[in-house]
Amino acid sequence: MHPGVQTYTSGGQCTANFVFTDDAGNVYVGQAAHCSGTGEATDTNGCDAGTLPLGTEVTFNEGGSLISEGTQVGTGSIAYSSWNTMQARGETDANTCAYNDLALVKVSSADVAKVNPSVPFWGGPVAINTTGTQAGDKVYSYGNSSLRGGLTQLSPKTGISLGDNAADGGWTHPLYTLTPGVPGDSGSAFLDANGNAVGTLSTLGLAPLPLSNNIGDLAHELAYAQAHSGISGLRLVPGTEPFSPAL
């Protein structure tokens, strides 16, 4: 179980991003908050979209495809969702509502020993990117959509940032990857050129930048979770494998 493992929430498949821990030693695997949404795929405003409750079971799987969920390798339950939290708090900031898309799945105690925080193929994360991206910056990701039928050769991705828009308040980074993220890649990890965790895949852009992707800024998402989740000492777990941008 690692960044890039498939997650299934009430039948919906997404891709795990990073590993987190807390002062009590619990282990969490991140996924997109919209992976537990109950509305349409176009419902991306986390402040009013339907969502499953905390405690909902999530399974971690390998080899899932359109005809099978593959092999279950672990279980957990949703301990934090930015969508649930924003709705409970009455969040009104437009950028926060639009781009704060992080959920934390608390790994079952029986499966904690299976967790490896390293991003497959690339290694890392080294730390958290806190400065955003500029146009042309390289990014690295690992998607694992069931639409690829378990072909992990297609999972590693490279891309370039399209530059941040100041109006977004640092909450999101638009980018292009060599092959765009598709449904099922949602939530997957993105690293910057230094191997730092920069974001998590949130949405597929249609206009004005067709086939671009938008990633939620992890520094913003994690800071919100640290402030409002009630999880003491919540923090990113660095990878045990060195970052190596091989492609």
CATH number where 150 lies: 2.40.10.10
pLDDT of residue 203: 65
Question: Is the residue at 130 inside a domain?
Answer: no
Distance CA 184, CA 173 (A): 19
Domain-located, residue 127: no
pLDDT in the model for residue 118 = 97
Q: Give yes or no: residues 74 and 192 share one domain.
A: no
Query: Do residues 183 and 95 both lie within one domain?
Result: no
Domain housing 156: 138-217
Q: Tokens in use for 233? A: 């000492």
pLDDT at 166: 86
Distance between first and last Cα of the chain: 24
Judgement on whether residues 18 and 103 belong to the same structural domain of the protein: yes
Based on the structure, what is the number of domains in the chain?
2
Q: Is 193 exposed, middle or buried (0-12, 13-18, 19+ CB in 10 A)?
A: middle
pLDDT at 207: 45
Q: Does the predicted TM-score (pTM) go above 0.75? A: yes
HSE-CB for 164 with a 13 A CA cutoff: 19
Domain at 42, CATH number: 2.40.10
Residues 102 and 151 reside in one and the same domain: no
Q: Tell me if 176 is assigned to some domain.
A: yes
Considering the domain architecture, whether residues 178 and 199 belong to the same structural domain is answered as yes
Residues of the chain below pLDDT 50:
206-207
Res 156: pLDDT: 83
pLDDT confidence of residue 91: 97
